[in-house]
Structure 1
Amino acid sequence: MKTAAAVILTTLLLAACNTMAGMGQDVKAAGQGVTKAADDVKEKM
């Protein structure tokens, strides 16, 4: 029983790591988009 619980917990933790990595990539991409938009506005000024 303890082994099964440990396997399930490990699986959930690994899945959470993948989710957080994906979210980090999304946030990074959004930040790059904001930076590009700001640079475009700066050039037009």
Structure 2
Amino acid sequence: MTKRFLLLALLITLLSACGNKGPLVLPDKTPPAPASQPSTDG
């Protein structure tokens, strides 16, 4: 009986996932490019 309860609890947890509905999309905003640093080749 305990195994059945744990299996049911695990199944419910996996099905609930993170709670977001709809397709997973990446944000449109791109991160700013890092400031260029002067090279020290000399």
- Shorter-chain TM-score tier: 0.3 to 0.5
TM-score if structure 2 supplies the norm length? 0.46
Q: Which has the higher helix share?
A: 1
Larger Rg: 2
TM-score if structure 1 supplies the norm length? 0.43
